[in-house]
Amino acid sequence: MGRGTDLSLAAARRAFHVVSSYWPLFSTPEQTAIDGWLASLQQASLEQAGLEGIESDTSPRLEISRGQLLCCFGTGSLARLLPERILRSDTHPFLRQASDSSGAPISPILRQQMIADLRRWQQVFSHLPDFDEAVQPSELSLESVAPDPFGRGRNPWSAEAAGRQLLTDFPISEDWGALVDPLEAFVRAHGAGPSQGCVAFRLEGSGGQALLQPIEEFAAFDLDWLEGNEKRISVLERNTRYLLDGYHAHNCLVWGPRGCGKSSVIRGLITRYWEGGLRGVEVPHRSYQYLPQLFDLVRGRRERFIAVLDNIAMERTDPYTRMLSVALDGGLESAPANLVFYATSNFKDLVDRGGERPQGPPAMQADAAPGEIRHTDSQSKVRRGFDPQGFQRLDERRALDDRFALKIFLDLPTKSEYDRIVVAYARRAGLDLPEAELLDRFQKWRMRHNHDLVGGRTARDFVLSCYPDAG
């Protein structure tokens, strides 16, 4: 190593200090290990050039620094790690604007800053050791993601394919600043940070603060696999397209018996329209309190969101009933234009009304009610047990139902329809049994395991239970 190497190391270390101060890609222990490695290399360069005037053995210092790197990063490829951190980062303002903007051009100042910062990281990259030299650039890839449910290898929204190309380009590029345009295109298409390549999230809360937790393995579903209910599903699909096209879209309640595909149809819509920017947000019951904060999390983003209230059914005394009603419609804050709520339920009436119906008086008012209920207080002349606000209480409980303008009923498939579902699932799993034999086995299996109602879930479970290697 000579004078030129010393200057290069000094520049790399200075670049590392500068860029890490506002765009940190490494944790504090990792930064300390990298800085120690660069300092050891620089010291070794000075001593070998004879500029110190003192003979010194730098091997122990280098070995210590190398050991610190190994403790932090393991035996993986540092040639892969730094580009991966860049692609997954969301802390640089350039990446945030590329991810959150609605296609507007990025500020030229931010673009120039990103070019300069990429070149700084390249200076650091050129001096990092590679503990996995067998890894070739063509083998570099992002972390693996869930297999595509349709048997086509990878989920189509995965960032892996585009990321693989960029990860190949970084190590062989002479100027990382020249990669700013493909990096921008990658982030615009797949997002940045933890949500990169994700089409679904879960609304969670911590310390009273709401957050969107990415669902890394989204349960994709092909909408064409649903048999029957085509006209009813088309109503929900048309409403979803209104959302994507920027028109007013309604909150929807999808209801029907178990196994009819209520949840699957929503997953199918997200699967079909993800390229148009459709995203799902699962809202568990425990997170209803964070619904007002959900508005702030999605408002202004270029994606369109379906907040999914799956298998919803509220007891009359549930404290979240009113909160949910106000959040859906009734508060002073308008809901974001890029957000709708889709609920699924086995019940058309979301709040349990204990058998009460608005068509007639409550049981306590009926002429045929037992005498102890119809007994009249001689002083007040009012029947004991009569609730003068009964209809108002009933009306309040119906308020949540009214927040869903569209109520779409999905029925169970007929026998001929679920036979087609069984055959389709089996063929998807690679089973080529004759159709008659396959259906005969299915009928015996569902009776043995007490599946009185048959839908897509039952057909799927049959294939996976009898043929565990399938799918």
The CATH number for 225's domain is: 3.40.50.300
Whole-number pLDDT of residue 127: 87
Task: Write out the residue range of the structural domain in which residue 12 sits.
Answer: 1-74
Whole-number pLDDT of residue 247: 93
Last residue of a domain, which of 177, 197, 217?
197
Whole-number pLDDT of residue 319: 75
Residues of the chain under the 50 pLDDT cut: 1-4, 52-55, 134-153, 358-361, 364-365, 372-379, 382, 471
Question: Is residue 68 domain-shared with residue 104, that is, in the same domain?
Answer: no
Whole-number pLDDT of residue 148: 41
Last residue of a domain, which of 197, 217, 239?
197
In a domain, 360, yes or no: no
In a domain, 364, yes or no: no
Question: Is residue 240 domain-shared with residue 328, that is, in the same domain?
Answer: yes
Question: Is residue 257 domain-shared with residue 340, that is, in the same domain?
Answer: yes
Question: Is residue 108 domain-shared with residue 234, that is, in the same domain?
Answer: no
In a domain, 330, yes or no: yes
Whole-number pLDDT of residue 111: 95
In a domain, 340, yes or no: yes
CA distance linking residue 117 with residue 159, whole number of Å? 23
In a domain, 232, yes or no: yes
Last residue of a domain, which of 141, 166, 197?
197
Whole-number pLDDT of residue 173: 93
Question: Is residue 94 domain-shared with residue 8, that is, in the same domain?
Answer: no
Question: Is residue 293 domain-shared with residue 312, that is, in the same domain?
Answer: yes
Question: Is residue 187 domain-shared with residue 104, that is, in the same domain?
Answer: yes
Question: Is residue 8 domain-shared with residue 134, that is, in the same domain?
Answer: no
Question: Is residue 183 domain-shared with residue 216, that is, in the same domain?
Answer: no
Question: Is residue 27 domain-shared with residue 93, that is, in the same domain?
Answer: no
Whole-number pLDDT of residue 392: 65
Q: What's the total number of domains in the chain?
A: 4
Question: Is residue 98 domain-shared with residue 59, that is, in the same domain?
Answer: no
In a domain, 370, yes or no: no
In a domain, 369, yes or no: no
Question: Is residue 169 domain-shared with residue 93, that is, in the same domain?
Answer: yes
In a domain, 354, yes or no: no
